[in-house]
Structure 1
Amino acid sequence: MITTPVRSAAARNDWRSLDPRPLGSPAHTPVSVSVVVPAHGCQPELDLTLAALAAQSHPASLIGVVVVDDRSEPPLTLPDLRPENTELVRVEGGGHGSGRARDIGARHAEGDVVLFLDADIIADHHHLEAHARWHEITDDAVVLGFRDFVDVTGVTPAATHDAVGRDTMASLVDGREREPHSWIEQLLEKTDDLLHDREDLWRAVVGASVSTRRDFYQEVGGFAHFPRRGIVDTEFGYRCFTGGGLIVPERHARSLHQGQRSFATRGPEIAQRRAPLIANHIANPRYRTPIGGRQWAVPYVHVIVPPSTAPFMTARYTVDDILANDHDDLTVSVVVDPDGDDADLYADYWQADGRVRLVEQAPASGFPSPATMIVPVGARLTSTAVGSLLDRLRTWRQGLLSISVTGVDAPLEMWATRALSRVRRADPAAERPVRETARELFGETWVAGSDHGVGTRSGASDRHFKDGRFHAGR
């Protein structure tokens, strides 16, 4: 863990290493919370949700609510029983969807923290405070609230406000059957409450109650405006995790969900219809068909080739080796000086290749690809090199794999993008070497390039020219 006088950066997903204040104790660094509530045709449910938000332990002066009416007919209205600072935003045109509505609400939010709460959620007395206390101590937190599904027939806004204010929310549904979010609980049990270091912890993110700092939300791009149900939460969680987010299951952020979850009754249909979109935008083998030559909206590996003074042909061999790899779910950003002598050659050769981007400045990371690979010009890679290094990285014993290559000035680097993202956020002024911070937060392993098909003499692209028919141009 790295700690400054105010903020902390945890190692891996070890949220238990942080020490938020006890609920009810004063905050040393209070944060304001903007609650974004997307809503579509659910006035009675919204009334209960707002009544509960008006009875929170978090200071009322630090709470703002943005209700996003997602084309309801008739339009939604704000009830009298609501937090004082509540705004109603009406979305018009373009269809409706929770991701779009949440994102519009977040763009209206002004708080230090944005907390997304569904319009059929009754939040308990400490719900907002339980979220906020993590954001008081770290920039990386993606805090998850919990909910039980229960019938709330006959429950009134006044009774809700009274029970939540007295911290007796459970009394609203005494004697009624309550169902936990079972698949979330199963995932938490398998991962020791998300402490196991694996690449799919983002699956736990559900938009019914999730919060981040507003700056972090903007950094990872916010909720996508997908038209499909059942993907926006998962895809947002994927980008939060890949962007270095620390996913925190906050069991003190309790709530009641009004009625049964729709996925429980229409799960197979929703899963089938979301599969094509989720495969394109979530770079994870569980969603993708292992076929060569396929290009996805978000590739698994983003390779960055830093600027070099080497001749164009040297760069060409390096980049073509990468493109010729058996693991071809990748994109390559080649940094080119537009005023360099060979700049036109780069454009002539790669401008039509959909997997190559010619850029003037190296991206900070390969986000949203989960793996970022930095390959200096002059390195040569065999056809199995990228896959071999990925296999080593995906043991998740380290966040940075450094590859030494004799004859190349700088090592190759294979990063877990989430590690690189959090490292840069932990030290934005670059007061410490990036490698040192990475070693502390995620671990670093050095390997020999020769053990993984990386060297300087030959590479994957050579195999096409063994018959001598290739000519550099004449």
Structure 2
Amino acid sequence: MTGGTAADLPPIRHNDYSPLDPPALGGWDPELSVSVIIPAHGGQHRLDLTLAALAAQTYPDHLMEVIVVDDGSEPPLRLPEIAPSGARIVTTGSSGWGIAHAVNTGAALAEGRIIQRLDADMVVCREHIEALARWHHLAGFLVTIGAKKFVEEPALTAARVHEGVRAGSLESLFDLSAALPSSTEQTISRTDGLRASRNPYHVCTGPTVSMRREIFRAVGGVDPGVLRGEDTEFAYRLAAHGVVFVPDMAAQAVHLGLPAQRRDPQRAVRVVAPYLAHRVPLRRDLRRDRGRHWLVPYVEVVLHVDGPEERVREAVGAALDGSLGDVVVTLVAPWSKLSGDRRPVLDDPLFDLRLLREHFAHDERVRFADEVSATPAPIPFRYTGPVSVPLGRDTLERMIRVMQDDRSGMLAVALGDDGEATLQRTEALGRARLLGADDVTASIEATHGVRHGDRPEFWPAGPTPPAPAKVPASPKAAAHGREPARPAVQRAPGQELGQEHGREQRGPGQEQRPRQEKQREQRRGEGKRQEGRDSLLGRLRTALRN
């Protein structure tokens, strides 16, 4: 029942986990151990109620440990009389502070196969841990989310909470009819349990969430540099890793106290915005400042160094100067061969490679790699294309728009003799890796879909302006070897280049050519007549002088 073998699981399309069939509560035998991590700062009474509820869980005691991480409480937190048998309190020490740091501290000490994050002011139902853990026995790439409602904190003792939870009824402890529903539950309901959600990580907001320990560590834990919105940023990286988010409404919980956002909603939103703007590229609404560089780019452009230096530089320039400026370029070549040892400068056998590296060594938007990394995470998209076909001005935007329309995981564009360009969704690539797929493209096709396109759709051929007609040089300009100035073309307001008076100009070989030939013949005839007049005048002047 431990599951997790990709070959034994039906394909899960996007976040539709419907093919998974969890066991009924109370009708199965758990095998995986669980470590419940509770970050806490003060609030001893609320912590007492949280631990009392955990002491009444249906999940086996010998498979559950509880680690309370005291994040600088004054006075220090203590372990109450009613608590799970495997509960202990640890401190964060002086190395850091905040929720993220506390969660990471507890996770580093965790021995359980499943990491369960829980707030220190939550009273959970008796099946809460069991309901979330049963999914992890099916597959190792799931993140499960519990339900929660907000209530005004009633006057309850730990003993009363323990008794009520063990009896199986949160209603006997709280007036749930007056509880404030969370936006999380509303979103889950609206998106068919997140099955139809485009970005299910949005509702993975921390207070009660669980995953396999290896998943937690693979994404690097929670970012301690994010002081607000750390749960959303962490969930975004989980999504980029390829996980499937599964909400389980049987994992009921009550949050003691109303949401902090109700005190000052505007300030609560403002404090989160800069953290997410830098770290969650999918939040395009937070990246409206033009000309900015962000911590996590929107697209990684992978270019294999192939061909002359000028062609590579042109491809890099096109990628960085496109309409989508939120990119980073990775140049793939054997850069590790470039040592700092003494060498001939002009006769260096790696002269071209060394020169190319120096061209981009000080541009923070250009990276160097000997090989393409397995995933660009947390960057949400990766483009790979030949340097012989530089990106068009809006090629990336066109490709992303197509993929976002149908939520495909990969777009492949045929480039004729130049090969192929691809745009991969990092989430789909991560899913293929979690499934251990030998054929990444086939895996992406099964889980997200692969779309194919043609070059003109993403590299449209723009109109080529006609060459200006040559103007005959004046005698004075010709005498000095100068090219005459070209007259400016006068256009009506709003008129595009290549159009005059609402009529498209004809190109070479069309009606314009006979007209131009006739004008040139006329100019040649005038020149000959002028030459004849000049010769006659010269003869007369000579005769008069004589």
TM-score by length of 1: 0.88
- Work out whether 1:448 is the aligned partner of 2:454: yes
Residues 111/311 of structure 1: CA separation in 2 closer, same or farther (3 Å cut): farther
Which has the bigger relative contact order, CA under 8 A and spacing at least 6? 1
Tell me the residue number matched to 1:371: 381
* Aligned partner letter, 2:75: P
Tell me the residue number matched to 2:264: 266
Pairwise CA distance, 1:149: 1.4
Query: Is the CA contact (8 Å cut-off) linking 1:8 and 1:139 kept in structure 2?
Result: no
Q: Which among 396, 421, 425 is matched to residue 416 of structure 1?
A: 425
Residues 6/169 of structure 1: CA separation in 2 closer, same or farther (3 Å cut): farther
- Between the aligned partners of 1:454 and 1:236, the Cα distance in structure 2 is 39
| Structure-to-structure mapping, 1:49-128, within 5 angstroms | 49-93=50-94, 96-128=97-129
- Between the aligned partners of 2:440 and 2:78, the Cα distance in structure 1 is 51
| Structure-to-structure mapping, 1:165-314, within 5 angstroms | 165-174=166-175, 177-181=178-182, 183-198=183-198, 200-226=199-225, 228-229=227-228, 231-306=229-304, 308-314=305-311
Q: Which among 401, 409, 425 is matched to residue 399 of structure 1?
A: 409
Residues 104/257 of structure 1: CA separation in 2 closer, same or farther (3 Å cut): same
Write out the 4+ residue segments of structure 1 that deviate beyond 6 Å after TM superposition: none
Q: Which among 23, 26, 37 is matched to residue 25 of structure 2?
A: 23
- Between the aligned partners of 2:460 and 2:93, the Cα distance in structure 1 is 54
Pairwise CA distance, 1:362: 1.3
> Which stretch shows the higher mean deviation, 341-350 or 137-146?
341-350
* Aligned partner letter, 2:27: S
What 5-or-longer segments of structure 2 have no aligned partner?
339-349, 462-546
* Aligned partner letter, 1:21: P
Query: Is the CA contact (8 Å cut-off) linking 2:6 and 2:435 kept in structure 1?
Result: no
Tell me the residue number matched to 2:534: none
Pairwise CA distance, 1:454: 8.0
- Between the aligned partners of 2:261 and 2:164, the Cα distance in structure 1 is 29
**Cα deviation 1:403-455 (Å, max 9, x = unaligned):** 1111224x22111110110111112xx43x11111111111011012320189
Tell me the residue number matched to 1:466: none
TM-score by length of 2: 0.77
* Aligned partner letter, 2:69: V
Tell me the residue number matched to 2:509: none
Pairwise CA distance, 1:175: 7.8
* Percent of paired sites with the same residue: 32
Q: CA RMSD in A?
A: 2.2
* Aligned partner letter, 1:209: T
SS at match of 1:381: coil
**Cα deviation 1:308-345 (Å, max 9, x = unaligned):** 55444433332222112111111112222023733312
Pairwise CA distance, 1:251: 0.4
Query: Is the CA contact (8 Å cut-off) linking 1:325 and 1:383 kept in structure 2?
Result: yes
What 5-or-longer segments of structure 1 have no aligned partner?
456-474
Tell me the residue number matched to 1:11: 13
Query: Is the CA contact (8 Å cut-off) linking 2:10 and 2:19 kept in structure 1?
Result: no
Q: Which entry has the higher C-alpha Rg, 1 or 2? A: 2
Query: Is the CA contact (8 Å cut-off) linking 2:273 and 2:286 kept in structure 1?
Result: no
The alignment of Structure 1 onto Structure 2 pairs a total of residues equal to: 445
**Cα deviation 1:368-391 (Å, max 9, x = unaligned):** 011122223433221111111111
Tell me the residue number matched to 1:360: 370
Query: Is the CA contact (8 Å cut-off) linking 2:412 and 2:453 kept in structure 1?
Result: yes
Tell me the residue number matched to 2:161: 160
- Work out whether 1:319 is the aligned partner of 2:316: yes
> Which stretch shows the higher mean deviation, 217-226 or 114-123?
217-226
Query: Is the CA contact (8 Å cut-off) linking 2:92 and 2:101 kept in structure 1?
Result: no
| Structure-to-structure mapping, 1:125-144, within 5 angstroms | 125-144=126-145
